[in-house]
Every structure is written in C-alpha cells, then in structure tokens.
Copies of this chain bind each other. A is one copy, B any other.
Amino acid sequence: MRSLILTALACTWLLSSPIHASPRSVILIVGDGFDDTHVTMGRNYLAGQSGSLLLDELSVRGAVQVETIDSEGNPLYVADSANTATSLATGAVTQIGRVGKDGNNTVVPTVLEAAAADGYKTGIVSTASVTDATPAAFAAHVAVRACESPMTIHGGKKYGVTFDGCPEDLVENGGLGSIAEQLATSQVDVILGGGEEHFTPQYGSQPSARTLATVAGVTFLSDAADLRGSHPGRVIGLFSEDTMPVKWRGSEGRTAESMKRSWLNHIYDMIGSVTQPEIIRCEANPEFAGMPSLEAMTRYAIDHLSRDNDKGFFLTIESASIDKRAHERDPCGSIGEIEQLEASLKVALVYAQEHPNTLIIVTADHGQAAQIVPDPTLYKYLPIPVYSPGKVARVATPEGGVMRINYATNNIDSEEHTGVNVPLFANAEGRTVLKPFMHQRDIYQAMMRYLELER
C-alpha cells in the first residue's frame, strides 16, 4: 500500500512538472562543402594522419544524402548551397538557387521560424555574407539566391552571369523583399557575419542597412571588439563587405597550379617532362586581421541567446569558406576555415556540457571538388610523365608530409560542387533524433522533433 501511494505521488510530481527542467537548444553547424575529403584534409593537417579532430570525438556519426530536383522535378545529383540549406532548414527538396522556397517557388517555413514562433530565441552566424544562401535559407525566402539586397533583387550580374532578379519577391509585388530586407526585419535575435554591402545598396531610394536595422530597433555591430560586450534586444553584426576574409592562405597567396609541361610533352603527353608545383606552406592571411573569428562570433551568439532564457534557442552557424576557397582551389584557405569550425564546435560543446539539453549537429551542405591524390603518383615507376590534367596544390603538413590536393572538375576559374553524400556528426543528444543514414530533409525533421515543434 505504501509503495502504491509513493508511486502515485511520483506520478503526480512528474505530470505537474515541466517536461524539460532546463532550456532546450539546437546548435546546427554547417561546414559549406565540408565533405569527407575536406574532413580528412583538415585532420591530416590539423591533427596528423594518426590523430583525430574534435569532430571525430563526437559520439554520433553518420552520412546524409543530398537531394536536388530540376525545374521539372527530376533528380539532379549535384546541389548548390541554396537548395541544400533549404532542405536542412525546411525539409523541402527544391531546385538549385532556391532559398526557403520549394520546387514550386512557394515559401516554406523554416525550423528557425518555427522555433521563434514557439518562444525559442534564434540566431544565425556565418563567415560568409549573412545574406548568402546557407545562412539566408533559415530566415528568408527568395526564388533566386542572388536576390540578396534591395538592389540585386531587381536583377543584375552575379558570378559573371546576368539574371532577372526576383520580381515575385519584390515587396511592391506582394513579396517578402530581398534577403537583406527579410533578415533586417525578421525576428532573429542575433545575426553575425559578413555582407554589409548587401544592407547598404548605393543607389536610388532603397533603404540602407543602418536604416533597416535602426527602424527595426536593432543594435548594429561592425567591429570585432564589439563582440566583447553584450547588448540587449536584437543584434546584427556585419564585419566585412561580403564574405569574411579567411584565416589562412597558401604561402605567398599561392593556390593550386597547373603542371609546367615541356614542349615535347605538349606535343604528346607520354613523352617529355613535367615540373611539379613547388610545395605550399599554410600561413596566416593578412587580410584576416581585425576580423572576429568564428569562435568569437559563436561565443557571442550563444551568450546572447542563452542570457535570461529559460526556453532555449536555435542557432545555425556556417563555416562558409571551406567551399568558397575550394572553388578557388585554395586548400590552405579551406583548412584554416576547418580550424575555425573546430574552434566554434569547441565553444558549442562547452556550452552543451553545462546545458545538457543541447543538441549539436555538424554537417555539410554538399560535396566539393578537392581530392587528396598520391604524392608522388602511384605510377612513379612508369617511364612516362604522370600528372593531373587539372590543378594541383602540394601542401606541407606540420607532421612532415606533403598532402597533394587535386582540383580538376572544370576548366574555368571556379570548381564544381560534387554529389557525394556528406558527413553527419552530433553529440550524444543526437541519439534521440538522428539515424546513421538520413536524407537532408530528415535533419530538419529531427531538429523540429528535438525542439518539440509541430510541423
């Protein structure tokens, strides 16, 4: 009888208590282009081939299949950051270039928006412009990713290509406006990264960023030192014109290079000789001076979101330039950005240690062009010149090796993405909602479930 009474008392207590005694939060870290090749590049350089990254110590690991469709809904096997970030943010499978909109160009609600509506605080951090596709897809909705500012939404040139803009997204046409306008007037509590130029268009009657920000009652930061303080209310920090400069670069700014081929080899590639590119050492990028690190932005964002907050938060953090430097065939740039991702993850893990109901997920949006190839070639004993038809960087590693990175997906200035499935990492909280193999849209579902949000 006594045990029955005790059980009844315990049940009453359980039912009357809030389900979560402490705040419940999700920190989603997206390494742009951070496929297994880049994970390995980072490990080989930062920890040595026999070492491990902080990422590698996470207890949940899996793989994520990327899905993309063309305008007819047929499968495409390689994505861009817009459609993949939209899948992560909204669960929709959509077309290349779409931000927060599905294949039919319809606005789809994001996990960040659902969290905000439910009383969670929300944040976006990126080393790219905060209006770039990956961060934007969590709180903005436009048909074409290049509609970043009140100027570009009218069309123009991006990546050397003329485009029509997003007429259906213009405020005057009943749309939500450009990405910058949507972010500035959103309910996102903290937005940190690059991209000031997209908030301050230099023409006509368009509102400026500061105007946008001030109108909405936002504290506007532009200096790394600002992140040492704390500020009430909404905060937007923009620390560079567009993408933030990266932390590392190749010695003398060198990136991957073509072989130097002798005239005989130009006549027939099985004869003559080729000269390998000189070895590159990674060094600090002087342009990074004065920039806040991704670690500093992460720390500020977590502090801002967790202060006086019993409910919890949703924060997405993008380490953008793994991809951006891979497009430019710059392995040291990518590796320095991976070092930034690791430092950001460390801050998140420290927070999670003190706040148990914190799910940390690290994943990538899509694969990228880099390949680690043998140095020297596997066929070094052949009596003919063997070399990549693309461009190659030979990176000296701190442990005394030479890591040879091949970029050979196309002939122009910017490499292609690849369609490989991407890695998934999470802290132990991930066990409750993640599986070893998922599609990108499932990550959205998992985050919604973790935050107990309705679809």
Contacts and interface: CB of A to CB of B under 8 A. Distances in A.
Nearest to A53: B437
Contact of A67 (B50, B270, B416): B50
Contacts of A410: 373, 377, 379, 386-389
Interface string A304-326: 00000000000000000000000
Interface in A114-163: 159-161, 163
A381 interface: yes
Contacts of A78: 372-375, 378, 404
A75 B63 contact: no
Contacts of A416: 373-374, 377-379
Contact of A406 (B68, B93, B408, B436): B408
Identical subunits present: 2
A205 interface: no
A411 B52 contact: no
B377 A420 contact: no
Contacts of A390: 389-390, 408
A419 B75 contact: no
A146 to B, nearest CB: 11
B411 A408 contact: no
B372 A389 contact: no
Interface string A382-415: 1011111110000001011111101011111010
A49 interface: yes
A40 B65 contact: yes
A57 interface: yes
B75 A399 contact: yes
A43 interface: yes
B377 A77 contact: no
Contact of A386 (B37, B62, B386, B411): B411
Given A436-B59, A436-B61, A439-B50, A417 B386 contact: no
B417 A159 contact: no
A337 to B, nearest CB: 18
Given A159-B379, A390-B408, A61 B59 contact: no
A365 to B, nearest CB: 13
Nearest to A410: B386
A423 interface: yes
Contacts of A374: 76-78, 416-417, 419
A400 B160 contact: no
A168 interface: no
Contact of A419 (B40, B57, B61): B40
Interface string A45-83: 000111010001111111101111000001111101000
Interface of A: 35-37, 39-40, 43-44, 48-50, 52, 56-63, 65-68, 74-78, 80, 93, 96, 159-161, 163, 269-270, 367, 369, 371-375, 377-379, 381-382, 384-390, 397, 399-404, 406, 408-412, 414, 416-421, 423, 425, 436-437, 439
Given A44-B419, A78-B404, 8 more contacts: A36-B420, A40-B419, A50-B439, A75-B400, A77-B404, A161-B381, A389-B410, A406-B409
Q: Which 8 A-B pairs have the closest CB atoms?
A: A372-B419, A61-B436, A408-B408, A56-B437, A78-B374, A389-B389, A75-B401, A161-B381
